[in-house]
């Protein structure tokens, strides 16, 4: 593998960050076309860490398309094991070797449809650090949990179960994406006041798990859930918010660019 072909720009804490989660929405041709549009439209954006999470088989061709453009790559998932007889899994080391600097961990679609439990999410975080990948830990409540008043407890539990006793953590950065399940792909996003409240909950949980310094110095907070070029300005500017994890609106290069521009 050519060394200079690695699209991994080490994450600089406190950087603004915008992550595109393409999920399994596009076929090969459409993914490669979208990558070309991203490169054309987004390469001039400075001061913003842009990250694309395509499906695994597309990471290498997309890395080649991006070339020298400053767009990083992320896995949409990572194995909970380092190597061995785990059919269908992709290790953190392999993600790193093919140019990923990040991996999404604990996305609600995986928790929901692939029965991904907190214990496994914890292992995925440990594996990510061991391989030198920054995990993007997704947390958030379902509609039922929200309506029954359980939101804060759900978020605190998810954080505790995923992160307690991750020994590498106090020295490493982590990205936490608050993604309420009911907001993902629905066109309904969180209220600004609720996001401000959830930031405080996350701060309290991580400060007591590690320390307030850890929270202030090592944690970047993202919001995800129906972010688009119209509502992004409602959230942008909230204290501690470092950026967004975007699904639907990342499937159209112009729309994604409009979000990115407002984060400048
Ligand atoms: C997501 O799945 O991470 C997401 C935020 O999706 P959407 O932007 O479509 O709500």
For residue 54, the CA-to-ligand 1 centroid distance in Å is 14
Distance in angstroms (rounded) separating the CA atoms of residues 46 and 50: 9
What size, in residues, is the chain? 264
pLDDT at 48: 92
Residue 184 in tokens: 């993902």
- Catalytic residue selected from 109, 141, 179, 199: 179
pLDDT at 13: 56
Which of 49, 58, 56 is CA-nearest to residue 28? 58
* Reported pTM: 0.94
Q: Which atom of ligand 1 is nearest to the CA of 104?
A: 3
Distance in angstroms (rounded) separating the CA atoms of residues 166 and 160: 10
For residue 81, the CA-to-ligand 1 centroid distance in Å is 26
pLDDT at 2: 34
3-state secondary structure 70-106: CEEEEECCCCCCCCCCCCCCCCHHHHHHCCEEEEEEC
Distance in angstroms (rounded) separating the CA atoms of residues 163 and 123: 9
Q: Which atom of ligand 1 is nearest to the CA of 109?
A: 2
pLDDT at 145: 98
Torsion sign, CA atoms 79, 82, 85, 91: positive
Return per-residue pLDDT of the chain as tens, 264 residues. 333 334 444 455 558 999 999 999 999 999 999 999 999 988 667 789 999 999 999 999 999 999 999 999 999 999 999 999 999 999 999 999 999 999 999 999 999 999 899 999 999 999 999 999 999 999 999 999 999 999 999 999 999 999 988 888 888 999 999 999 999 999 999 999 999 999 999 999 999 999 999 999 999 999 999 999 999 999 999 999 999 999 999 999 999 999 999 998
Q: Is 199 a catalytic residue?
A: no
Q: Which residues line ligand 1 (CB under 6 A)?
A: 21, 179, 184-185, 224-227, 245-249
Q: Is residue 60 a contact partner of residue 38, using CB atoms and an 8 Å limit?
A: no
Q: Is 193 a catalytic residue?
A: no
Distance in angstroms (rounded) separating the CA atoms of residues 223 and 31: 24
Helix-, strand-, coil-residue percentages of the chain, each rounded to 5:
45, 15, 35
Q: Is 113 helix (H, G, I), strand (E, B) or coil?
A: helix
- Pocket test of ligand 1: the residue of 176, 184, 222 to mutate, having most ligand atoms within 8 Å of its CB, is 184
Question: C-alpha dihedral over 28, 82, 109, 149, to 10 degrees?
Answer: -160
Q: Is residue 63 a contact partner of residue 114, using CB atoms and an 8 Å limit?
A: no
Distance in angstroms (rounded) separating the CA atoms of residues 51 and 9: 10
Residue 21 in tokens: 């989660």
């Amino acid at each position: 593998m050519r060394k200079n072909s690695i699209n991994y720009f080490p994450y600089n804490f406190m950087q603004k960050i915008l992550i595109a989660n393409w999920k399994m929405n596009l076929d090969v041709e459409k993914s490669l076309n979208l990558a070309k549009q991203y490169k054309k439209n987004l390469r001039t954006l400075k001061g913003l860490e842009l990250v694309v999470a395509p499906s695994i088989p597309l990471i290498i061709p997309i890395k080649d398309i991006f070339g020298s453009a400053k767009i990083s790559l992320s896995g949409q998932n990572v194995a909970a094991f380092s190597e061995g007889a785990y059919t269908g899994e992709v290790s953190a080391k392999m993600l790193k070797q093919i140019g990923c600097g990040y991996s999404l961990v604990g996305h609600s679609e995986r928790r929901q449809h692939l029965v991904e439990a907190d214990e496994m999410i914890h292992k995925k975080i440990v594996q990510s650090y061991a391989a030198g990948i920054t995990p993007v830990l997704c947390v958030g409540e379902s509609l039922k949990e929200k309506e029954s008043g359980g939101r804060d407890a759900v978020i605190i539990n998810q954080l505790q179960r995923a992160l307690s006793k991750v020994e590498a953590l106090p020295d490493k950065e982590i990205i936490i994406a608050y993604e309420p399940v009911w907001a993902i792909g629905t066109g309904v996003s969180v209220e600004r006041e609720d996001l401000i409240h959830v930031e405080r909950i996350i701060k309290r949980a991580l400060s007591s798990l590690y320390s307030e310094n850890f929270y202030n110095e090592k944690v970047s907070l993202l919001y995800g859930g129906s972010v688009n070029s119209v509502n992004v300005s409602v959230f942008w500017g909230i204290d501690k918010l470092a950026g967004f994890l975007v699904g639907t609106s990342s499937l159209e290069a112009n729309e994604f660019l409009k979000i990115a521009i407002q984060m400048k």
